[in-house]
Amino acid sequence: MLNRKNKLLLLKVLSLFSVVRGYNILVIALAQYLASIYILAPELPVRKVVLDLNLFVIVLASAMVIAGGYIINNFYDAEKDLINKPRKSMLDRLVSQRFKLTTYFVLNFMAVIAASYVSFRAVFFFSSYIFGIWIYSHKLKKIPFLGNFISATLAITPFFVIFVYYKNLQPVIFVHAVFLFLLILAREMIKDLENISGDLAQNYKTIPIIYGARTSKLLITFLILLTLVPALLLIFKFDVGYMNFYFVLCVILMVLFIFLLFKAQVRKDYVWLHNILKLIIVMGVFSILLIDVDLVLNRIL
């Protein structure tokens, strides 16, 4: 049995894990490795990619910067989250703001130090990434649409650094990136509808607050329709193996999403829509394995 002190320590660990959204970071790290193996460097042996120390350092530095990003975002959104996410916010507050900021600076410092192992360009890249996350959290996120656009751009940056590392310029990679970017951008805009109460209280100038929920829904619908274009290209034009079944499912889910979007009225409805897009993104990570099923079977057997 845990005593009171150990229980409090465990709760604080869970609180910090909640603040940095450890589950998201694990999924992103997995996605970086799977994208490297199956999309960006399919000609290289799996063992060579997995044991590449430079790639490991890049993924590790990305994880630390993303964790720091979640911390600084949580720091600036503390009051808003009390309204939008009261239960999560109460858990997050078990760790003091001072400790969060200290962890933020330590994580970013360690990320830059790790990047120095790869190259000076990696140091410059991750330093710029850290600054971009901070300026977004501090200023840009309150600007209608620009804040959403920057947030989506920062979300795909960990994949951009892998793309640069392997210098793979094939069109199929660009189409994958556009699909992911548009999906994340639509998710960011759904979050504005989901969090409208807290945004109003904190004087955020989001699209649904300034132009109304209907305008926001029309913009999200437009983004989802745009997302169908790369999805259909990946189904019919490019060879993505059995992953084409994933994109077929995506098309069905996105059509359902548009139907549910215009019926949505309350926060609970928008949470469901947010979860649909999150499901599509997470399924996409594991569906990368379907690009080359034989490779997966060979590794298992």
Rounded to 5 degrees, what angle do the CA atoms 213, 215, 216 make?
Answer: 60
Q: Are residues 188 and 135 in the same domain?
A: no
Q: Are residues 204 and 122 in the same domain?
A: no
**Residue 175 belongs to what domain range?**
169-296
Is 8 contained in some domain? no
Query: How many C-beta neighbours within 10 Å does residue 37 have?
Result: 23
228 in Cβ contact with 251 (< 8 Å):
yes
d(CA 264, CA 163): 37
Is 148 contained in some domain? no
Q: Are residues 137 and 177 in the same domain?
A: no
- Residue 276: CATH number of its domain: 1.20.120
Q: Are residues 137 and 173 in the same domain?
A: no
Q: Give which of 62, 63, 98 is closest to 78, Cα–Cα.
A: 98
- Residue 134: CATH number of its domain: 1.10.357
What single DSSP character describes residue 265?
-
Q: Give which of 244, 219, 113, 64 is closest to 210, Cα–Cα.
A: 219
Q: Are residues 67 and 137 in the same domain?
A: yes
Q: How many domains does the chain have?
A: 2
Q: Which two tokens stand for residue 141?
A: 């996120």
Q: At what angle do helices 171-194 and 267-287 cross, to 10 degrees?
A: 160
The Cα-based distances of 127 to 61, 122, 143, 194, 244 in angstroms read: 11, 8, 23, 32, 37
pLDDT tens, residue order, the chain (301 aa): 556 666 666 777 777 777 778 889 999 999 999 999 888 888 888 889 999 999 999 999 999 999 999 989 888 777 777 777 777 676 667 777 888 889 899 999 999 999 999 999 999 999 999 999 999 988 888 888 899 999 999 999 999 999 889 887 788 889 999 999 999 999 999 999 998 887 777 777 889 989 999 999 999 999 999 999 999 999 999 888 889 999 999 999 999 999 999 999 988 999 999 999 999 999 999 998 888 766 555 544 4
Q: Which two tokens stand for residue 94?
A: 């078990």
Is 5 contained in some domain? no
